[in-house]
Amino acid sequence: MNTLCIRLPLCLLILASALFACQPEHSPSPSSRPNIVLIIADDIGYSDLGCYGAEIHTPNLDRLAQNGLRFRTFYNMAKCNPTRSSLITGRYLGNERAISFVPLLRQAGYSAIMSGKEHFDKWVPQHAYFAPTFENSFTFWATTEYFVPPSGKFERPFFLNGKQIEAEEIEADILPKYKTDFITDYALRWLEEVMQRDQPFFLLLPYHAAHYPLQARPEDIAKYRGTYLKGWEAVRAERFERMKALGLIDSTTRLSPPEGNTNKFRGASYRGWEEIRKKWPTYYPWNSMRPEEQDEKDLEMAVFAAMIDRMDQNIGRVVQRLEAAGELDNTLILFFTDNGSCPFDSNVDFDIPPGPAESYRCLSPPWANVGNTPFRLYKQNGHEGGARTHFIAHWPGGIQPGQITAQPAHVVDLFPTFLELAGITYPPTSNGQPTLPLQGHSLLPIFKGEQRPEPEFFLSGHTERFRMYRRGPWKIVRQNGEAWELYHMQHDPTELNNLAGQQPEKLQEMVQAYEAYQQATRTELGMAD
């Protein structure tokens, strides 16, 4: 797989070459170690950014992409908690011997601050959680509302450096209080402090946007109201064509049919409105709805777009502060989303439209299908719609601008990447016991424009019911514990031609390879068969 390069004007190419020539070696000296800013979004589809084909305004992310590197194929773990678990430990699965990379960075002289969502699988040890490892942290666990609810009490609490705080104690620079904004407020306060020190820093910024509930500031919603009255089929087709023009997918890629993109394995979280809930998981044509229903769906997607827009505005605040401090050139900024777009029915009250603090609504599956253009299925699935995310890497001091790479990568690759950037050797022991080996591989060769030896395999899908296992161009995946499907990802990236029946030998080879990995993992972790 080759790295693709977008052609730039000659003057920019000359400047990019000069910057690239100055990048650090694989074992950088303390003085050359870059700052690292890792930004994570939540439940945003592959095509939901402007630089990945969307009509949603994301000028700050677009700038990072155009002046950096975009990945065509970057895998997550298809759901919030397993993705974060693999990120922080560098493991697909682990136990109490797993460790976080954050203390290693701090021991090597990095300041470490974070603000945003925390959510791990049960196997992640407490010593890898955020409050014990970051010097400053503002956290919440999983889902919470965006505006302070009318009751004044959030669904789940917030924590400042491990201590629970109430809604009225949250410091916010913009009123009314909105989560995406005040997450950034805390990050910027601490960023101001660490930039005064003569040492590199690591900032983790895991936003909650655009996970349900669909709540956004009215001025942001107004930007998009009416944009989506053309319907989900038209919006999806326009994104598909833009993605091909951008070079993010091949011209021969086929758009997956929406009819097969149902959400039949995740039931409603609440009762009531049974007729609406019965229809919720399915796809239906836009023109099958009455004009007033179309207007409701336009509002729904406008709120979702507004949430992404607001997140991008806040990313811009961080980038502008780094630039003003003269830190941008030596800061690696990474952005990805924890899983594909989410079609779950966690709607609480269909009588309250999405947007305000009083509402608690979710994105309809046909709109989530637009977000995952051109792929199939959604969050939790090991199919590409759930498991593949956009990924942007921006580092003027180390990455040539204007690149798109076809080399695949995975969230487990970030841990070893950070160690190599900081010149850290992974410790053989921690807390008096042997550490688990990392399962990812550094992305620095790709950042440098080189060909990275492709990892032996990639893993995704939420639990064994939706597992995917990719080895080279071949991939096996299943839905809800059903029979394995087999795809050749180079020829069929949107998984439209299941080869399980045509190539039973290859299917068996892939299944055996996955089962061998499972057995080796159980042995490594001391798990009973």
Tell me, yes or no, if 119 is annotated catalytic.
yes
| Catalytic residue chosen out of the listed positions 51, 80, 342, 362 | 80
Long-range contact set of residues 61-65: C-beta below 8 Å, sequence gap at least 24: 61/312, 61/315, 61/335, 61/392, 63/319, 64/315, 64/319, 64/333, 64/335, 64/392, 64/394, 65/392, 65/394
H-helix or E-strand spanning residue 506: helix 504-525
Residue 476's Cα: distance from chain center in Å? 22
C-alpha 418/C-alpha 400 separation (Å) is 19
Of 124, 136, 104, the closest CA to residue 203 belongs to 136
C-alpha 78/C-alpha 152 separation (Å) is 32
| Catalytic residue chosen out of the listed positions 57, 119, 390, 394 | 119
For 446, other C-beta atoms within 10 Å of its C-beta total: 22
Q: Give the SS3 label for residue 8.
A: coil
Q: Return all residues near 290 (Cβ < 8 A) that are at least 6 apart.
A: none
Q: Give the SS3 label for residue 240.
A: helix
Q: Give the SS3 label for residue 264.
A: coil
H helices of 374-443, in order, are: 384-387, 414-422
Q: Determine the residue type at 461.
A: G
For 85, other C-beta atoms within 10 Å of its C-beta total: 25
Alpha-carbon dihedral 171, 175, 180, 185, rounded to 10 degrees: -40
Q: What are the residues facing 336 on neighbouring strands?
A: 40, 391
- Give the burial string for 327-362 (b: 16+ CB within 10 Å, else e): bbebbbbbbbbbbbbbbbbbbbebeebbbbbebbbb
Tell me, yes or no, if 491 is annotated catalytic.
no
The catalytic site residues sit at 80, 119
